[in-house]
Copies of this chain bind each other. A is one copy, B any other.
């Protein structure tokens, strides 16, 4: 189960292996946003994103026997690199299932952390099926990207740190893909500060969580074409959805242009690099998506892994 206790246990477990990331502020951003914003910088996290927290907590929670057999994950993004690095830290074998057409840089980074990469044909095979087969044949434990209580508790530790550093926040904004980060962070936030208002933020092109909350049940959308690749999930998780229902006051939506504008603002004015998904919650603050009267806001900058080609396009579209 998910609780402040399980998040505190996760925090104690992963502390030696993750960075306590800084909370930064920017007068320029505050002036533009019209409120006081506190950025939790998970782009500075090991492997470049908050995913390191959940992966580490999951792997350190395995039994000795499970660890001896190893783990498997399917991802071509930050979760892959996090599972690879967390496994190396723990001395555990990791197999990562990626599509044959995954970006070379991401494959190289995952292998660089010592993981084995198994590719599959995106057109002809189902990645979960491939991972399940591997899991059964070789006894590997699956490390899910979000729908797992140990993973969710791990992600929640970033809110624990944020509220320790800035106890009097009135609201918390997180990007929302499968909902793991929001579920963990909002659970910690609400336990630490009564009445704090929690908002998951999605791209307009990837509003499965918003649709699901409006309908009262998990809705599956077609593969979304958003540049925020961390939110290309098509439906909230079975475990995260009830937490979203309980803790989300509203789902905020931002456009693709607003995401790129926020990324550029953070890069050129604040001098730090976030990936598009990492800019989503900041975009909601910057472009007035919050209800009136919310003063001090915590914003999760979830990650900073961007390909050079993609970054060149974001910063100077006419070169693309």
Q: Which residues of A contact B (CB under 8 A)?
A: 22, 43-44, 48, 264, 267-268, 271-274, 304, 306, 308-309, 311-313, 315-316, 319-320
Contact = CB atoms under 8 A, between A and B. Distances in A.
Contact of A312 (B271, B273, B306, B315): B315
A311 B309 CA distance: 12
B316 A312 contact: yes
A271 B48 contact: yes
Contacts of A308: 264, 268, 315-316
B268 A271 contact: no
Contacts of A267: 273
Contact of A271 (B43, B313, B319): B43
18 contacts: A22-B22, A43-B271, A48-B271, A264-B308, A268-B273, A268-B306, A271-B272, A271-B273, A272-B272, A272-B273, A273-B273, A308-B315, A308-B316, A309-B316, A311-B316, A312-B313, A313-B319, A315-B315
Contacts of A268: 273, 306, 308
Contacts of A264: 308
Which of A264, A273, A316 counts the most B-chain CB atoms under 10 A from its CB? A316
Nearest to A304: B271
Going nearest first, the 9 A-B pairs with the smallest beta carbon separation are A312-B316, A271-B304, A312-B312, A271-B273, A319-B319, A308-B315, A308-B316, A43-B271, A312-B319
Contacts of A316: 308-309, 311-312
B315 A311 contact: yes
Nearest to A22: B22
Contacts of A48: 271
Contacts of A311: 312, 315-316
Contacts of A306: 268
